[in-house]
Amino acid sequence: MNTKDIVLIALFAALMAALGVVPQITLPLGVPITAQSMGVMLAGALLGAKRGGLAIALFLGLVALGLPLLAGGRGGAGVFFGASGGFLIGFVVGAFVIGLLFDRHKTQPAFLLSLIYILVGGIGVVYLFGVPWLAQIAELSLGQALVGSAAFLPGDCVKAVLTALIAREVRKAIPTL
């Protein structure tokens, strides 16, 4: 790992923190949509598997140490044992998977393929970790947890489209990223 890698990892950890400050949008029925999951998607799409996963892991390490960097000013080891703990762990794996899929290409993948990669890692993988954890912690059936989590899908899909568009332009502007 060189200096550029370390700087990019730290930069994206800081981006995740900054996205936690963006005010949440509350959908009907009180469903909050935050910007931090978009940071996970961007880290994977722009940094690749290793650096993207490490950026999110660094961010979560800082959260675990008590820094209030999660949306709503949450932080501390306790957040990993709450209902969203599985989603947080899924953030690291999701960024890694997105990066792994993007790393398979020497050039920018087509928009639709980029979107699919982001949907698979940024939503599919994150929910794969988060929904069962939520079901366990909240004492719900897996189906109930999945239905409850489905309320977040529209916002996550919008973030995936925005990420695909942003990543495409950033990769064009900085091909050596």
Tens digit of pLDDT for each residue in 83-121? 899 999 999 999 999 999 999 998 889 999 999 999 999
Q: How far apart are CA 89 and CA 83, in angstroms?
A: 12
Task: Give the whole-angstrom CA distance, residue 56 versus residue 24.
Answer: 20
Query: Tell me, what's the pLDDT at 53?
Result: 98
Rounded Cα distance between 177 and 169, Å, is: 12
**How many CB atoms sit inside 10 A of residue 155's CB?**
19
- Confidence at residue 126, expressed as pLDDT on a 0 to 100 scale: 97
Q: Which two tokens mark 9?
A: 């990892």
Q: How high is the pLDDT of residue 18?
A: 95
Q: CATH number for the domain including 71?
A: 1.10.1760.20
The per-residue pLDDT string of the chain (177 residues; one tens digit each, 9 = 90 and over) reads: 899 999 999 999 999 999 999 887 766 555 567 899 999 999 999 999 999 999 999 999 999 999 999 988 889 999 999 989 999 999 999 999 999 999 999 888 999 999 999 999 999 999 999 999 999 999 999 999 999 999 899 889 999 999 999 999 999 999 888
Amino acid 122: pLDDT:
97
* Other beta carbons less than 10 A from residue 38's beta carbon: 24
Q: What is the pLDDT of residue 26?
A: 66
Domain of 131 in residue numbering reads as 3-173
Q: What is the 3-state secondary structure (H, E, C) of the chain?
A: CCHHHHHHHHHHHHHHHHHCCCCCEEEHHHEEECCHHHHHHHHHHHHHHHHHHHHHHHHHHHHHCCCCCECCCECCHHHHHCCCHHHHHHHHHHHHHHHHHHHCCCCCCCHHHHHHHHHHHHHHHHHHHHHHHHHHHHCCCHHHHHHHHHHHHHHHHHHHHHHHHHHHHHHHHCCCC
Based on the structure, what is the number of domains in the chain?
1
